[in-house]
């Protein structure tokens, strides 16, 4: 598998590259790179507007990608899929459009483990009206206190916004149950799926969520592409997020009419080449197979956890049963930044800092941590290199 990722042949600081920052951005297989290049070489034109052959080809490829994404997440129809720049923009789209109906005193339920992308957009609504965030607490192992969820609802609750998988703890949240509880109160649910789509099959119909957002670059695809799934009746009701070309029906100096969803939410020229390449990433994932992905990543996680727990003063963050292949840790008396720099000198790429989850860091009583995250192209040798490099870094920092 490694031969499909040429970047893994690189050396970093004189060492073999050990790439363990997959939760931030997964590497891109050759097939995806080729799909991007093929678009620019053979089909490069704008979409939905031209009558010439190249434009028609580009439009067909983009809409084929929409259909492929819909099938990938088992969306009822391609029209339920909106292309964005990433999970962040997808959530901002919902916050901006749905938030226009919010009034002073409304409430949104989030969790203590949310990424900033699922916190800040809701706080920005406060520039127009006062909206309160209510927080589902965590249990000591890093799982959600689901029993506390029901008590957070009241007549002012307008939305539940929850991550499918924590980018710090690896906790896999019971999104189906959360949706069931929320819908029993008549409240829609948005799921941040950025950390889920590369590790497990996602079925938005089975989950029952009203919105689901994810990014291509987390699932071996290009950067700058994201997806917002939304139930069609909600997309039809939401006002546009941005204005410009492509999303309009008719424009005069007095008024504008808008296209039907999803085009109403795709103002301007989209990131066509990278959208067209997204199906190649989906094909790669499915060719590896979900069972193989799960077994490989869990074996790597288990070995890394066992190895790192032998490092004096090291504490693993997040031990929820069934967690995904994310391993975050702190070492007493050291900074995560210093550890990350020393690991990089040994060719090991990890993520350090607060991971865009400062409220979670505060809840854990830390300012930041080191995070190693695993993918199917990682190997036992990668894990052993991580453990050895961490041991050396810890010794140097004592």
- Options 129, 209, 356, 369, the catalytic residue: 356
Q: How many CB atoms lie within 10 A of CB 15?
A: 15
What are the two backbone dihedrals, phi and then psi, of residue 226, each rounded to the nearest 5 degrees?
A: -140, 175
Strand runs (DSSP E) across 231-325, as ranges? 248-251, 256-258, 314-317
CA distance 325 to 294: 9
356 in active site: yes
Q: For 276, left (φ over 0), alpha (ψ -120 to 50), or beta?
A: alpha
- CB under 8 Å to 175, separation ≥6 — which residues? 162, 164, 189, 191, 207, 209
HSE-up (13 A, CA, CB side) for residue 237 = 11
CA distance 297 to 358: 26
- CB under 8 Å to 341, separation ≥6 — which residues? none
- CB under 8 Å to 62, separation ≥6 — which residues? 47, 83, 270, 272, 275, 276
DSSP state of 52: S
Q: Tell how far CA 284 is from the center of its chain.
A: 18
Q: Can you list the alpha helix ranges (DSSP code H) found in 217-271?
A: 232-237
Token code pair at residue 66: 């929409």
Q: Tell how far CA 302 is from the center of its chain.
A: 23
Active site residues: 356
């Amino acid at each position: 598998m490694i031969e499909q990722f040429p970047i893994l042949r690189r050396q970093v600081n004189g060492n073999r590259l050990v790439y363990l920052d997959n939760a931030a951005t997964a590497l891109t297989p050759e097939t995806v790179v080729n799909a991007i290049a093929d678009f620019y070489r053979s089909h490069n034109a704008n979409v939905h507007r031209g009558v010439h052959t190249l434009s028609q080809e580009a439009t067909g490829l983009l809409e084929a990608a929409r259909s492929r994404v819909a099938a990938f997440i088992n969306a009822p129809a391609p029209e339920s899929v909106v292309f964005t720049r990433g999970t962040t923009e997808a959530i901002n789209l919902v916050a901006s459009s749905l938030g226009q109906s919010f009034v002073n005193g409304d409430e949104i339920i989030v969790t203590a483990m949310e990424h900033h992308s699922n916190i800040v957009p809701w706080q920005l609504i406060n520039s127009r009206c006062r909206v309160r965030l209510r927080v589902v607490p965590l249990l000591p192992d890093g799982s959600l206190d689901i029993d506390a969820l029901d008590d957070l609802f009241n007549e002012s609750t307008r939305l539940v916004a929850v991550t499918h998988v924590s980018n710090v703890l690896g906790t896999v949240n019971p999104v189906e149950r959360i949706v069931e509880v929320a819908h029993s109160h008549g409240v829609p649910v948005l799921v941040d799926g950025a950390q889920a789509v590369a590790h497990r099959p996602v079925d938005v119909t089975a989950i029952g969520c009203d919105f689901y957002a994810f990014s291509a670059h987390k699932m071996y695809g290009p950067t700058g592409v994201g997806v917002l799934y939304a139930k069609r009746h909600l997309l039809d009701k939401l006002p546009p997020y941005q204005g410009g070309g492509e999303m309009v029906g008719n424009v005069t100096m007095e008024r504008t009419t808008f296209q039907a969803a999803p085009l109403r939410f795709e103002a301007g020229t989209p990131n066509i080449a990278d959208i067209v390449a997204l199906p190649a990433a989906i094909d790669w994932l499915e060719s590896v197979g979900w069972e193989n992905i799960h077994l490989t990543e869990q074996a790597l996680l288990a070995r890394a956890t066992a190895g790192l727990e032998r490092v004096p003063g090291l504490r693993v963050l997040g031990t929820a049963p069934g967690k995904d292949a994310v391993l975050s840790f702190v070492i007493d008396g050291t900074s995560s930044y210093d550890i990350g720099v020393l690991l990089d000198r040994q060719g090991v790429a990890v993520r350090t800092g607060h991971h865009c989850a400062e409220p979670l860091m505060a809840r854990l009583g830390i300012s930041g941590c080191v995070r190693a995250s695993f993918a199917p192209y990682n190997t036992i040798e990668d894990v052993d290199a991580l453990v050895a490099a961490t041991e050396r870094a810890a010794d140097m920092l004592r």
